[in-house]
């Protein structure tokens, strides 16, 4: 068995109840060098296949029979599975975005996005960088900025800002600890405080809120993406 290159392929699972949509996504992901290891047409099948195959990234639609994409995301999160979740959907309503981020999704992209953007989103989610469709980010920020209720419960310390910045760029807790010379447990404690102060349920939601409050700058991607 010869290895074409040293970097392992990203293994993805697609969950969408429309065959045509899955076929289209599969095509351009495989063209982009991503291995699609399984497909599911409903939420329960998606969960079963995810637990059996442990893909690197699950690309999940919101509206599916049985279990919604939000429920699938919650299930992955609740079971602490090392699977990145990219929600790929036609819905750009702000409540959906918020529900998905709270459920623990790593990214949210619209089906109307360019194939190259969706491909990049899968790679970013694999690298654990938070991804949000630019058109939706705008809406979400306006919504968050307009919510009088949405003020941090307490100001973030310099160390907490440092940690949420590193989290935004896709660095793992372990690597953050290594970089800052503190233990992984200490990083987790700092992040727990950040979640509490920003009233966030997940890393991605905390990052989005930190950006919308101007605490950190939006992450710049590596030039392969606009």
Q: What is the pLDDT of residues 115-154, one digit of tens each?
A: 999 999 999 999 988 888 877 776 666 666 555 445 666 7
CATH of 148-212, one of 2.130.10.10, 1.10.10.10, 3.40.109.10, 3.40.50.720: 1.10.10.10
Q: What is the pLDDT of residues 15-26, one digit of tens each?
A: 999 999 999 999
Q: What is the pLDDT of residue 201?
A: 83
Output the pLDDT for position 102: 81
Any idea which fold 11-143 has?
Rossmann fold (3.40.50)
Q: Give the gyration radius of the chain's Cα atoms.
A: 17
| Range of weakest confidence among 25-39, 69-83, 208-222 | 208-222
> Is the pLDDT score of 80 beyond 80?
yes
CATH 1.10.10.10 domain residues, the chain: 148-212
47, pLDDT greater than 60:
yes
Q: Which residues contact 29 (CB under 8 A, 6 or more apart)?
A: 12, 14, 36, 59, 118, 119, 122
Q: Tell me the whole-structure pTM to 2 decimals.
A: 0.69
CATH 3.40.50.2300 positions along the chain are 11-143
């Amino acid at each position: 068995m010869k290895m074409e290159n040293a970097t392992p392929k990203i293994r993805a699972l697609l969950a969408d109840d429309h065959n045509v949509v899955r076929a289209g996504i599969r095509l351009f992901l495989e063209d982009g060098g991503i291995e699609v290891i399984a497909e599911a047409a409903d939420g329960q099948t998606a969960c079963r296949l995810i637990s059996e195959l442990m893909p690197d990234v699950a690309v999940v639609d919101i509206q599916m029979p049985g279990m919604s994409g939000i429920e699938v995301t919650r299930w992955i999160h609740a079971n602490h599975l090392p699977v990145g979740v990219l929600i790929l959907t036609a819905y750009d309503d702000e409540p959906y975005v918020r529900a998905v981020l709270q459920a623990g999704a790593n990214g949210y992209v619209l089906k109307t996005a360019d194939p190259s953007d969706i491909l990049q989103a899968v790679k970013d989610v694999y690298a654990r960088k938070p991804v949000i469709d630019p058109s939706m980010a705008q809406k979400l920020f306006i919504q968050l900025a307009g919510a009088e209720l949405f003020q941090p419960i307490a100001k973030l310390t310099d160390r907490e800002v440092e940690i949420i910045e590193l989290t935004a760029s896709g660095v793992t807790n372990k690597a953050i600890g290594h970089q800052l010379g503190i233990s992984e447990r200490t990083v987790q404690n700092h992040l727990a405080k950040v979640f509490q102060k920003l009233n966030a349920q997940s890393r991605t939601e905390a990052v989005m809120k930190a950006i919308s409050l101007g605490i950190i700058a939006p992450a710049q991607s590596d030039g392969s993406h606009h």
